[in-house]
Chains A and B, each alone.
Chain A
Amino acid sequence: AQSVTQPDIHITVSEGASLELRCNYSYGATPYLFWYVQSPGQGLQLLLKYFSGDTLVQGIKGFEAEFKRSQSSFNLRKPSVHWSDAAEYFCAVAWMDSSYKLIFGSGTRLLVRP
């Protein structure tokens, strides 16, 4: 069965520290991978996506993510977190062999300490 796991419900980091949010997926077919951010009271905004090619992708707001097929992972990273990055982050996956269905992880809420 297709599933997406974000193992961390909450993460707290200090402003200026580095950040890594984890995302794992199950299912063997070629995945299409996305990270979205949801600020309080807002809809979802696409941070970055991976379809093919270079497995390290750059996104908006200084975020990047790396696709590791061997680990079925697509972790989101940022070298230096800003207070405005506090939000909820969702990993989402679609699979090439199925009709388009974007399956979301349960989300990770990022808190930033001043």
Chain B
Amino acid sequence: EAQVTQNPRYLITVTGKKLTVTCSQNMNHEYMSWYRQDPGLGLRQIYYSMNVEVTDKGDVPEGYKVSRKEKRNFPLILESPSPNQTSLYFCASSTAGDPRLNTEAFFGQGTRLTVV
């Protein structure tokens, strides 16, 4: 079954304690991205990756890091989490980043992060 898998689904952590949210897709997609969802703001892109070892900032990259060492995995790293990073996070993947290629983004089920 084609899917994007995020782990963990729920996480409560303390300020400053490094954490990683994993994202894995089994569709051999080149393009992957991370979003955060906050009430009244919709989804905002944090980082994206066009392919292995190619990553770039989205709209709200501050406080986050990513890596793309393998095509299937795109972990999101919070080196020193703060309460304003409490949010619902989604990973997405698609065959290519260019919408002219008529691609569709597939989303994971989300990770609800609380930083206290």
B45 CB contacts on chain A under 8 angstroms: 101-102
Q: With contacts A43-B110, A49-B104 known, is A90 near B42, CB below 8 A?
A: yes
- A104 is an interface residue with CB less than 8 A from chain B: yes
In the complex, the number of residue pairs spanning A and B with C-beta atoms less than 8 Å apart equals 56
* Chain A residue, CB-CB nearest to B41: A106
Q: Could you tell me the dominant secondary structure of chain A's interface residues?
A: loop
Is residue B81 within 8 Å, beta carbon to beta carbon, of the partner chain? no
Q: Is the CB of B40 within 8 A of A106?
A: yes
Mask of A83-114 contacts with B, CB within 8 angstroms, 1/0:
00000001010101001111011110000000
Considering only CB atoms and an 8 Å cut-off, how many residues of chain A contact the other chain? 25
Q: Are B99 and A32 in contact (CB under 8 A)?
A: yes
Determine the residue in chain B with the shortest Cβ distance to A43.
Answer: B107
Query: Digit string of B103-116 for contact with A (CB within 8 Å is 1, else 0)?
Result: 01101111000000
Tell me whether B14 is interfacial, beta carbon within 8 Å: no
Q: Mark A17-53, 1 if CB is under 8 A from B, else 0.
A: 0000000000000001000100001111110010100
Separation in Å of the B44 CB from the closest CB of chain A?
7
Flag whether A56 is at the interface (Cβ < 8 A).
no
> B42 is contacted by which of A43, A49, A51, A107 (Cβ under 8 Å)?
A107
Distance (whole angstroms) from the CB of A89 to the closest CB of chain B: 11
